[in-house]
Amino acid sequence: MTSESFNASVYLVDRQVEAGRGDHVALTGPAGTVTYAELAAQVAALATGLRTLGVRPEERVLLVMSDRPETVITVLAVMRMGAVAVPVSTMYTDAELGTLIRDSRARVVVATPEFEPTVREALLDAPDVAVLVLTDADGRPPAGPADPAGAARSLTAEVTTCRWADLLPTGPQAAPAYDTWRDSAALWLYTSGTTGAPKAAMHRHGAIRDVYETYGRQVLGIRPKDRCLSVARLFFAYGIGNSLFFPLAAGATAILDPARPTPAGVLASVAEHRPTLFFAGPTFFAALLATDAPGTSFQSVRLAVSAGEALPAEIYRRFTGRFGTDILDGLGSTEALHIFISNRPGRVRPGSSGTVVPGYEAKLLDDFGAPVKDGEPGHLYVRGDSVATGYWCRTATTRQVFQGEWLRTGDTYIRGEDGFYQCLGRSNDMIKAGGIWVSPMEVEGRLLQHVSVGECAVVAYIDSEGLEKPVACVVSAPGRTVDAAELVAFCRDGLAAFKRPREVLILDELPKTATGKIQRVVVRRIAADLLGKHGA
């Protein structure tokens, strides 16, 4: 039985040209501006060039690329020709990158020039790679004949390298899109997820339309006149939705910047490009609050979105109070491709992840798999059409996380009677103090209400008697001084006594992942070292 034809690249780009939006700007930013008509032509041309290079349908093509038009074109071209795009973090070391290249079995790697040295080192231990494709340093295709075979030169005895632009044939050489189906593999995204080591979540062509039709259309309400600016990069599930899936599916514009995001750089980009939708995570919103940016800085933004980890209510209040821009906090995951629980425009509850996005279902179960009552904590499960088919070559982990139609997220939540979900933290981050479960996020939310606290993380440590106790690691707000005893008293006044931190440790900064999430495992280790205890 043959499935219905569906190609995500055609859906995202060709459909807009056919709808008469060819002259509308699809991509813009420091690396260049591309209309939908230009995007469609370059995607089709590169798909043909990749096929000429020997890339086959369902084969993986790994990308080590900064956020620029060439990256979007490459992802779309790979999907158009029926192959599988594998964008990976540009923050990996050569050893880490080599591990992913070997794991993916990719034969072709595409990179932007700033990552060429790291990629070349990684390829020394990646025997399956046959070709390295490099974009030009200025990000612009140079003039010259298209000759993929002639452009190739020796990298090692086994690997050749060629120029990205030389893979773009001119004229009517572009072949039609490959006959993929909704269930055809389109995209792999590596994640540490719920179980540690990086593993590839495998996504279908149909899932890309699913996340737009659910969150993009029904929550964001994205439309052609919107302009999207995302702090999260294209190699993240959050970022690729913000800067590729949603804007292109709606015929809107994505603002791309290859530079590493900084508060100053993002504020300059907001001022220059006037986005209407702004996407970041809690850590970056906190960093923006630490600047002296005027209250009018985000006046072009109709909605801001936060994801990656729960947004503390105090950061929400400070940001909206200062800049006048509402933030929709939501919960998503790489395994689900984007956000499946979210606050809604005009219906935001600070400190809550919101309600279930249309098209998804969620449930909370106890340690024995039984449903919990509203108001009681439970392990969060979600199901929806955008959920990945599993992890590449990780059978045991796939069976643990993907349970039938349900995805076990690894988060502990409470659902209120009104359907709003409140995050208590990752299931393995909960603290049992005095025999009672304590949510680190609840204590962190209280600490952030104090004017002296800029950032904080509450973790468990084991005391001399082997008992778990909450300890707060705190970074002071700009121009403020933290008084540990004062913070403990402040928490005692606003929380039940057993929830208060037993110790407050003052740090210069909190360790974070490449996505800006606090590395709680590292924080626990730091706390244990400073307190002279063994780690929890």
Same domain, 440 and 422: no
Same domain, 329 and 361: yes
- Select from 174, 191, 208 the last residue of a domain: 191
Same domain, 312 and 441: no
In whole angstroms, what is the distance from residue 519 CA to residue 511 CA? 6
Contacts of 125 (CB under 8 A, 6+ apart): 95, 98, 102
Same domain, 281 and 307: yes
* Nearest one of 340, 366, 337, 335 to 353, comparing CA atoms: 340
In whole angstroms, what is the distance from residue 240 CA to residue 191 CA? 14
Residue 69, domain CATH: 3.40.50.980
Residue 458 is assigned to a structural domain of this protein = yes
Same domain, 421 and 435: no
Angle of helix 263-273 relative to helix 282-289, nearest 10 degrees?
90
In degrees, to the nearest 5, what angle opens at C-alpha 505 toward C-alphas 504 and 510? Answer: 125
H/E stretch holding 453: strand 453-462
- Domain of 353? 199-426
CB 361 within 8 A of CB 338: no
Residue 1 is assigned to a structural domain of this protein = no
Residue 2 is assigned to a structural domain of this protein = no
pTM for this prediction: 0.84
Residue 349 is assigned to a structural domain of this protein = yes
Q: Give the pLDDT of residue 435.
A: 62
Same domain, 403 and 513: no
Residue 264's CB is within 10 A of a number of other CB atoms, namely 12
For the chain, 536 residues long, give each residue's pLDDT as a single digit of tens: 557 899 999 999 999 999 999 999 999 999 999 999 999 999 999 999 999 999 999 999 999 999 999 999 999 999 999 999 999 999 888 888 999 999 999 999 999 999 999 999 999 999 999 999 999 865 444 333 334 444 444 445 578 999 999 998 776 667 789 999 999 999 999 986 444 578 999 999 999 999 999 999 999 999 999 999 999 999 999 999 999 999 999 999 999 999 999 999 999 999 999 999 999 998 899 889 999 999 999 999 999 999 988 888 989 999 999 999 999 999 999 999 999 999 999 999 999 999 999 999 999 999 899 999 999 999 999 999 999 999 999 999 999 999 999 999 988 999 999 999 998 877 778 787 766 778 888 899 999 999 999 999 999 888 776 667 899 999 999 999 999 999 999 998 888 788 899 999 999 999 987 777 888 889 988 999 999 854 44
- Select from 158, 191, 224 the last residue of a domain: 191
CB 186 within 8 A of CB 61: no
- In the Cβ-directed half-sphere of 492, how many Cα atoms lie within 13 Å? 9
Residue 110 is assigned to a structural domain of this protein = yes
Contacts of 140 (CB under 8 A, 6+ apart): 32
Same domain, 421 and 436: no
Q: Give the pLDDT of residue 148.
A: 43
Same domain, 327 and 440: no
41, 393, 399 from 199: Cα distances, Å: 33, 8, 14
82, 276, 370 from 5: Cα distances, Å: 12, 34, 40
Same domain, 336 and 390: yes
* Nearest one of 438, 434, 437, 473 to 456, comparing CA atoms: 473
In this structure, the strands spanning 160-163 and 199-204 are: unpaired
Residue 123's CB is within 10 A of a number of other CB atoms, namely 23
User: What letter represents residue 242's amino acid?
Assistant: N
Same domain, 419 and 434: no
Query: What is the tally of structural domains in the chain?
Result: 3
In whole angstroms, what is the distance from residue 324 CA to residue 294 CA? 11
Same domain, 221 and 318: yes
Give the phi and the psi of residue 359 in degrees, each rounded to 5.
Answer: 100, -10
Q: Give the pLDDT of residue 23.
A: 98
Tokens matching residue 122: 């990684």
Residue 277, domain CATH: 3.40.50.12780
Same domain, 365 and 382: yes
Angle of helix 282-289 relative to helix 313-323, nearest 10 degrees?
50
Helix/strand/coil percentages in the chain, nearest 5: 35, 25, 40
Residue ranges with strand state E in 114-241: 131-134, 153-154, 160-163, 185-191, 199-204, 227-230
In this structure, the strands spanning 227-230 and 199-204 are: unpaired
* Nearest one of 227, 392, 213, 229 to 305, comparing CA atoms: 229
- Select from 398, 426, 454 the last residue of a domain: 426
